[in-house]
Chains A and B, each alone.
Chain A
Amino acid sequence: MKKALETEVAVIGGGVTGTGILRDLALRGIKAVLVEQGDLGHGTSTRNHGLLHSGCRYAVRDPEAAVESYQENLILKRTIPGSIEQTGGLFVKVPGDDDAYVRRWLDSCGKLGIPVGEIPLEQAFREEPYLTKEAQAVYQVPDGTIDDFTLLIDVAADAVAHGAALLTYHEVTGIMTEQNHVSGIHVRDTRNGEEQDIYAPIVINAAGPWGMNIAKMAGVPLRIINNKGMLVVFSHRFNKRVINRLRMPGDGDIFVPAHDVTIFGTTGKNTDDPNDFSLNREEMEQMLTTGADLIPEIHQMRLIRAYSGSRPLYQKTAGKGSSGRDVTRGMALLDHGERDGLDGLITITGGKLTTFRLMAERTVDLVCKKLGSDAQCTTREAALPSRKSTDSFSGANLAPAARHKLMNWAGVRTPEFETSLKDREAANVVCECEQVTWAEIDAAIPGDGHLDLGDIRRRTRLGMGPCQGTFCNFRTAALAVEHGKAGTREADCALMRGVKERRKGMGVVATGETAKQLQLMQTIYQVSLGFGNEEEKQHV
C-alpha cells in the first residue's frame, strides 16, 4: 500500500530557503515536512559564492535589497555564528572604473546606514598583498563569509530538533488539489522509486531554479529566469577579507575567502534548464581576465575546481527579454490563492543566501495568517549553537591538526565525537587535506545503507582540498564496507560517481598542477586499482 503522511505544511526544496522555512515553522510550533529531491543543498544553496553581503554591492542599483542584506548580515552574525566568518570586506576602485559611481555608492551607503570607511592604500596593500597596486581607493565594509554546507546542516538539524520532518532524496512529482485549494503533494523516493502522498493544507514552493516545474504541476502560471553563474576555487586562501570591485555589479568582481581557499566569481548567463550545471572554459577565461584587474597574479595561482549554480530570478510580467542582472534580486513571495485562485500554495523565490532568514520569516508570517495562528517569528533572536567546542578531545588520540579542525567543527556534537573517538581507529585521519577523521565520516553516513561521497563531503569537508578526493574517497568507500556501512557494489558505485563528479569540476580548470592531479586520480583508479575493467565490463 502507498504510504501516506499528514502534516500542516509541506515545504518543497531543501535549499537554504526551504530549510530556513522549515526551521521557522518548527520554532513556531507548526507541523511541517520538507521534501528535497537530492541531498540538502542539491541546488543553488551549495553552488554560490558564500558571501554574507553587507548590502554595499546593491547600494546603488537596488537600495531595498541592500538594506535587507545589511540588516540580515547583522542578525546572522549573531544567530548563526558557527557558519559565518566575520572577515570584513573591501571595495576597491581601480583605474578605468566610473568615478561618478563611487560618489553615488558612498552617498547611498551613507543614506542606508551601512558603515563604510576609506582606508589608506598602504594599509590595504599591507593587509592584502595580492591586491593590485593600481588601486585608487579602498573602502572597508562589514561583509562576511558563509559556509553554506554547515549552514544548511545546522538549520535543518535545529528544525528537526524542534519536531520538523525532513525527507531528502524524495522528489515531488505532483500537487494534489481539491476544488481551488491544494491538499498535498505526491512524492517519490528517488532511490527505490517508492511513492508516497503527503497531505497538507499548505504547500510551499521553495524549489529555487526548479520553481516553475512545481507551478506547472499545480497549474498556476509562474515565470522564473534562471541566471547561471560560474565560480572557481583557488588552491589556497590569498585574501583575508572579501575583495569586491567598486563599480556597477558585473562579472568576475568578487574574491571570497572560504576556510583555506579563495573563491572567485562570477558570471551570469540565462539557462532554461534548472539541471544545467555545465561549465564553460571560455566563460572562465574571460572572468579570470577581468579578475586580473583586482588581483594581477590571478593567472599564476592554481585553480583546483570550478562549479556553477543558477539564481532563480522572479519575473513579474512574463515575456520581457532580460539579461538576468536587470531583474531585481529581491525576493518574491507569491500567494497563489490571491494571485491565481489556488489557495494554500505559496511560492517563495529570488532573494539571496544572506536574506534566507527574512524570506522564511515573511513566508511563515503568511502561513500563520492563513492558518489563523498568531505565533511570532523568533529567528531574529534564537541563535543556532556555535561550531566551536571548548573541549579539547583530550580522551582521543588525535593528530594536532585533526584536533584543531574538530574544535572548530564539532560544536554540539562534541560529546558524540568524544565517545566515538575513544576507538583508536575512529581517530585515524582519512582525509589529510581537510583533516577528517573516520569518526566524522562514520557519523555522516546515513543508517539506511546509502553511501554518497558528496553527501559526506558536504558534512565533513572530505575531499575538498587540493587532492580533490584522490586518496580519501577510496579509503572512505572501502572503510564503509569494512564497517558494514555499505555493500561493495554500492561502495564501488559511490566511488565511481564521486570520481566522476570531482573530475567534472576539475576538468575545466585543469592546467598545470591541477591537470597533473586530475591525471593522477584517473591513473590510480583506472589503472592501479583496476577500476578500468569495471567500466569496460559495464559497457558490454
Chain B
Amino acid sequence: MYDVVVIGQGLSGMLAAIWARGEGKRTAMIMSGAGKIMQSTGVLDLIPGSRGTLDEWMKQYPFHSENKADVLQAVAKFKALTRELGYPYNGDVREPVPVVTGSGHIKETALYPDTVTPVPDRGHAVVVGFQELPDFQPLFISKNLQKERPLMTVDAIRIPLGEDSQRVLTQLDAARLLDQKEVRARCLRRISGQLADKGISQADFFVFPSSLGNEAWAQTLKQFSEGLGARVTEAPGMPPNATAIRLNDRLKLKAIRSGVRLYADTTVTGADIEKNHIRSVRVRMANRATDVAGRQFVLATGGILGGGLEVTPDGIRETALHLNTDGDGRPMNPPDNLFLAGASGGRQLTRHGIVGGVYSLVSSYASVFGLRKTVAGGMAK
C-alpha cells in the first residue's frame, strides 16, 4: 500500500512523485514507455505557441487570483529542485523572455536551463550548425533570426562535428559527441577557422543546436563561451533536444535515488473504484498483471499526445482509469482521492497540443501540496 501512486512519467508525473516522496510519502510511479518530455524542448512556457503574461496565463488556466503566490512558490520549488539536480533553471514567470528556436524564430518562455540564453535585441550573432545534423540548418536559422531581430547582425557557419563525418546525427547524438573534450576542442578550432575563412568579425552571441553536451553540458558551456569570448545559447527545436533529455534523465534519477518505487514498462489498465474512491489500480507489465493499492493517486498520463486521452470516432476517451469525461476529455466527477496533473485534465487545457511546462509544474505542485483555493484539486492533509 502506497501513500501516493503517480500514473505517468512525463514532467508532471516525475515532479509529483519527487515532491510527494520529499514529503515522506511512500510513493510509486507507474510508467509505460517514456514521457513526452523526451520530445519536448526543455524550456517551460506559459501559454504554448503564443506570448502572454502570467495574469493572462492564470485566466486561461483555471486558477484564482489568490493562487499567484502558490504559483510563484511552485516555481521557486522547481528551480530549487533543478539546482539540486545540478541542472539549474533560470527565469521568472512574471517576465517571460525571448529565446531563439531551431527554426530561427523567436518564442517566449518562462523557465530555461543554464544552456539557454535569452536572445538580445542587437549585437552580432553567429549561428553554428553541424554538417551531420539535418535538423538544424544554420543559414535558414540565421535568416529567420535576422528577420526577427532587424537590429542584429547575424551570420551562419557550418562545421563537421565528427572526424570523418558520414552518419546523420540527431541533436542528442551530437550532444553525446560533445561530451568528449577532444571533440569540443576540435569543434572550437573549426569554428575559429570558419570565422576566419569567411571574414566574420568577433561576435558576442553564438547560437548552437540543442546539443551542448549531455553529461558534460557545464564544461561544454564554459569551454565554448570562454573559447569564443561570447555568450552562448542552445536553440531547441526538432526532437530530441539535449535541453529536455538532461532534465528528464536527472528527474528520473532523482526519483529513483529518493526512493520512489518505479514500475517501468507498466501500463495502468483500470481501477478498483468504490464509492468514488480509488482503492487500487490495475497494471499490466510485460508478462503479468497485478494491482497497485494506494491512498492517493495522481493522474499524470498526459493528453492526446501523451496517450492519457485517446481520440476515438465516438469522442475522447480517458485510457488509464476509464473515467467518464466530457467532450474535451476532462474527467467528470473524478474519484475523491484522484488528482490531475499536467495534460491529463482535458483538451481545454492544451494549446497547440500541449499544456506548457509551467502548467505541468504548477499542477504537479498542486496535486502534492494543494493550492490555497483550489479548482484543480489538491492533496489536503
Contacts and interface: CB of A to CB of B under 8 A. Distances in A.
Tell which of A522, A526, A530 has the most Cβ of chain B within 10 Å. A530
30 contacts: A397-B166, A424-B165, A429-B168, A474-B238, A479-B134, A481-B139, A482-B158, A487-B143, A488-B104, A489-B147, A491-B140, A512-B310, A512-B312, A519-B305, A523-B305, A523-B354, A526-B48, A527-B41, A527-B45, A527-B48, A527-B107, A528-B41, A528-B101, A528-B237, A528-B238, A528-B239, A529-B237, A530-B105, A532-B107, A533-B49
A512 B48 CA distance: 23
Interface in A468-513: 471, 474-475, 477-479, 481-482, 487-489, 491-492, 510-512
A529 B103 contact: yes
A69 B298 CA distance: 62
Contacts of B104: 488
A524 interface: yes
Contacts of A488: 104, 140, 143-144, 147
Nearest to B237: A529
Interface of B: 39-41, 45, 48-51, 101-107, 131, 134-135, 137-141, 143-144, 147, 158, 165-166, 168, 236-239, 241, 303-305, 307, 310-313, 351-354
B107 A492 contact: no
B50 A533 contact: yes
A424 B239 CA distance: 24
A530 B107 contact: yes
Interface of A: 285, 397, 424-425, 428-430, 471, 474-475, 477-479, 481-482, 487-489, 491-492, 510-512, 515-516, 519-520, 522-524, 526-534, 536
B171 to A, nearest CB: 11
Nearest to B137: A478
B139 A482 contact: yes
Tell which of A488, A520, A531, A536 has the most Cβ of chain B within 10 Å. A488
A529 B101 contact: yes
Contact of B135 (A474, A482, A512, A516): A474
Given A528-B237, A533-B106, 11 more contacts: A475-B134, A475-B137, A515-B311, A519-B304, A520-B305, A522-B352, A527-B354, A530-B101, A530-B107, A532-B48, A532-B352
Contact of B39 (A430, A520, A530): A520
Nearest to B307: A516
B350 to A, nearest CB: 8
Contacts of B238: 471, 474, 524, 528-529
A425 B353 contact: no
Contacts of A532: 48-50, 107, 352
Contacts of B102: 528-529
Given A479-B134, A528-B236, A474 B103 contact: yes
Contact of A530 (B103, B158, B303): B103
Nearest to A427: B166
Tell which of B103, B131, B144 has the most Cβ of chain A within 10 Å. B103
Given A492-B144, A511-B313, A531 B48 contact: no
A482 B104 CA distance: 13
Contacts of B236: 528
Contact of A511 (B48, B237, B241, B312): B312
Nearest to B241: A528
A478 B141 CA distance: 8
A477 B140 contact: yes
A428 B140 contact: no
B139 to A, nearest CB: 5
Contacts of B50: 532-533, 536
Contacts of A522: 352-353
Contact of B168 (A428, A479, A482): A428
Given A428-B168, A482-B138, A519-B353, A527 B143 contact: no
A529 B158 CA distance: 20
A144 B350 CA distance: 46
B129 to A, nearest CB: 8
A488 B154 CA distance: 14
A482 B354 contact: no
Contacts of B135: 471, 474-475
Contact of B137 (A479, A512, A530): A479
Contact of A285 (B40, B103, B237, B313): B313
Contact of B352 (A479, A511, A526, A534): A526
A376 B134 CA distance: 51
Contacts of B45: 527
Contact of B105 (A482, A489, A519, A534): A534
Contacts of A471: 135, 238
Q: Which 5 pairs of residues, A with B, have the shortest CB-CB distance? A: A532-B49, A478-B137, A530-B105, A530-B107, A515-B311
A471 B237 CA distance: 11
B144 A515 contact: no
B143 A482 contact: no
Contacts of B141: 478
A143 B54 CA distance: 62
A533 B236 CA distance: 16
Contacts of A530: 101, 103, 105-107
B241 to A, nearest CB: 8
Nearest to B105: A530
Contacts of A477: 140
Contacts of A519: 303-305, 353
Nearest to B139: A482
B64 to A, nearest CB: 26
Contacts of A487: 143
B146 to A, nearest CB: 8
A481 B352 contact: no
A425 B312 CA distance: 42
Contacts of A528: 40-41, 101-102, 236-239, 241
A474 B138 CA distance: 13
Contacts of B307: 516
Contacts of B304: 515-516, 519
A523 B166 CA distance: 30
Contacts of A482: 137-140, 158
Contacts of B101: 528-530
